[in-house]
Chains A and B, each alone.
Chain A
Amino acid sequence: MKLRKTEEVFFKILMILAAVIVCGSFFLIVGTIFAKGIPYMSLDMLTKTPGGGFYIGKEGGILNAIIGSLYVAGGATILGLFISVPVAIFINIYINGKKFLSDSLRVAFDVLFGIPSIVYGAFGFLIMVYFGFRASLLGGIIAVTLLVIPILVRTLDEVIRTVPRELGDAALSLGATRWEMAKVVLRQIKPGIFTAILLSFGRAIGDVASVLFTAGFSDNIPTSLHEPAATLPLAIFFQLSSPVEEVQGRGYASALILTIIVLIITVLSEILIKKFSKHKS
């Protein structure tokens, strides 16, 4: 009897401890970025591209990287959706019944999911070299798209699998075609699609290795897909490696901006999920 009680107390403490570690490290990370970044935060950081002596601590901001990152992450997520939504529907609705085929596709995406982003970067780079592209916004978007497709497919696949089979059957028994049934399923999983977009965007905007060779870096805001584009993670990397204290501080400020962007996207998607789950029972 006593042993059971001790056991209960022991595991309870263990769980509380684990929760404290998780929450603690979250606040520690965010706190550090805030503490180190806030002093260097300014309106210029958000609204100006790097000026002449930016990298030795003079005027300018990182608007180039903010815009570049939004372009890359947004472009990749949109492009990724165009590929992963059909794939997820195909796996779940069209080849339903041929278990071997759907299982093989799922394994393939699991493997792709585990591939480090530098490999996607290198692969994207090889393709660009083959076609004679320079590092450009388009190259970055393509490499990051490859990176986010497995995330999108896996998330959508999970969500579609939660849809009760009878809902699809209901549409089919009204004489719907498979595609019409898929549209009903897509309506049902709208909140899930937003989750997938959020996960993909979050991963895309924070990844550095895939854009390293492919998007390049530029102090200007790209005006076409063929120009190189700066991204926030790379901007942070360059600034933090600087020996100038002012520039290092701006690196933390950039990290703060990146964190806030992700935070805004998260909150926004939560609101959208609530709005769009109106018809869900």
Chain B
Amino acid sequence: MTQTPHISVQHLNVHIGNQHILNDININIPDKKVTSIIGPSGCGKTTLLKSFNRLLDNTPGVKITGKVLVDGEDIYDPKAEVTHIRKKMGLLSQRPYPLPMSIYDNIAYGPRIHGIKKKQVLDQLVEEQLKATGLWNEVKDRLNASASRLSIGQQQRLCLARGLAVNPEIILGDESTSALDPVSTSIIEDLFISLKEKYSIVLVTHILRQARRVSDYIIFVYGGKVIEFGPTEEVLLNPKEELTREYVKGYIS
């Protein structure tokens, strides 16, 4: 890889209780590309993702060592400000969790906590992000309706818009389509592909076809270790490691 990495993970080790969840992870996540983390359930892929925005900190009994550099800044530096780090990354979780407020307020929530109060600015932001996620035409007449009234696919796009509204650099997706129907899934996948022009995207997925459809790079994690990392086609079609080959062929899951 020639470009500068956006996230650089160096000797990351994560223990939760007595379990060694992540074992000496070293990875460079490229800028403005879609990178998928694949691997069997329980291999640590979600843990790896959550280490990027320090949500992992809230897990009881967690111990984290090593470095995660975002734009060259170590986010685990004791002096690093956690709200500032998290603002840089939008998180899209497995199921949509709209905030208990209206559609408008869901998107305005982030900008508001970061100090934007002017109604005009907020109006514009809300419209912009709803358009970016293709929701505008579906909801423009009911912005004050409760977000929980939306369909689950719409809610997931709303959550994406909500994340984009704080102007992040990176989008983290944790199996973001696993609760969605095929149509909504494909809308979200298309969004990821179009959003990589402006954002670096890291996705956790257990669907190999999805990883193939959307990602430029793939990280294969197994047993808490990075087994293989490379361009999508290479990892999926011509893996270097025996474990990757077995996983891709479906022998291990």
Question: Smallest CB–CB gap between B160 and chain A, Å?
Answer: 11
Given known A-B contacts A173-B89, A174-B166, A280-B148, A97 and B60 have beta carbons under 8 A apart: yes
Mask of B156-173 contacts with A, CB within 8 angstroms, 1/0: 000100110010000010
Let me know if B100 and A184 touch, CB within 8 A: yes
Q: Which residues of A contact B61 (CB under 8 A)?
A: 97, 99
Let me know if B99 and A170 touch, CB within 8 A: yes
- In the complex, which of the residues A188, A278, A279 has the most CB atoms of chain B within 10 Å of its own CB atom? A279
Mask of B20-63 contacts with A, CB within 8 angstroms, 1/0: 00000000000000000000000000000000010101111110
State which of B57, B89, B93 has its C-beta within 8 Å of the C-beta of A166.
B93
Q: Which residues of B contact A172 (CB under 8 A)?
A: 55, 58, 86
Q: Which residues of A contact B53 (CB under 8 A)?
A: 173
Question: Smallest CB–CB gap between A165 and chain B, Å?
Answer: 8
Given known A-B contacts A184-B99, A187-B100, A175 and B86 have beta carbons under 8 A apart: yes
- In the complex, which of the residues A96, A175, A281 has the most CB atoms of chain B within 10 Å of its own CB atom? A175
A164 close to chain B: CB less than 8 A: yes
Please, which residue of chain A has its CB at the minimum distance from the CB of B105?
Answer: A279
Considering only residues 77-134 of chain B, those with a C-beta below 8 Å from chain A are 83-84, 86-87, 89-91, 93-95, 97-102, 109-110, 113-114
Considering only residues 79-116 of chain A, those with a C-beta below 8 Å from chain B are 96-99
Q: Which residues of A contact B147 (CB under 8 A)?
A: 279
Let me know if B148 and A187 touch, CB within 8 A: no
Let me know if A174 and B100 touch, CB within 8 A: no
Let me know if A170 and B97 touch, CB within 8 A: yes
A20 close to chain B: CB less than 8 A: no
Let me know if A173 and B163 touch, CB within 8 A: yes
Let me know if B97 and A164 touch, CB within 8 A: yes
Judged by DSSP, the binding face of B is: mixed
Please, which residue of chain A has its CB at the minimum distance from the CB of B83?
Answer: A175
State which of B58, B93, B113, B163 has its C-beta within 8 Å of the C-beta of A176.
B113
Taking residues whose C-beta sits less than 8 angstroms from the other chain, chain A's interface range is 20 to 34
State which of A97, A167, A188, A279 has its C-beta within 8 Å of the C-beta of B58.
A97
Q: Which residues of A contact B102 (CB under 8 A)?
A: 279
Please, which residue of chain A has its CB at the minimum distance from the CB of B147?
Answer: A279
Let me know if B58 and A96 touch, CB within 8 A: yes
Please, which residue of chain A has its CB at the minimum distance from the CB of B81?
Answer: A175
Q: Which residues of B contact A97 (CB under 8 A)?
A: 57-62
Q: How far is the CA of A167 from the CA of B96 in the complex (A)?
A: 9
Question: Smallest CB–CB gap between A50 and chain B, Å?
Answer: 48
State which of A169, A170, A180, A279 has its C-beta within 8 Å of the C-beta of B146.
A279
Let me know if B60 and A174 touch, CB within 8 A: no
Let me know if A188 and B89 touch, CB within 8 A: no
Given known A-B contacts A170-B91, A188-B100, A279-B102, A96 and B148 have beta carbons under 8 A apart: no
State which of A99, A169, A190 has its C-beta within 8 Å of the C-beta of B91.
A169
A-B contact pairs, 28 of them (CB 8 A): A96-B60, A97-B61, A97-B62, A98-B60, A99-B61, A166-B93, A167-B99, A169-B58, A169-B91, A170-B91, A170-B93, A170-B97, A170-B162, A171-B99, A172-B55, A173-B55, A173-B172, A174-B110, A174-B162, A175-B83, A175-B114, A175-B166, A176-B113, A187-B101, A190-B100, A278-B146, A279-B146, A281-B98
**Measuring CB to CB, which residues of chain A are less than 8 angstroms from any residue of chain B?**
96-99, 164, 166-167, 169-177, 180, 184, 187-188, 190, 278-281
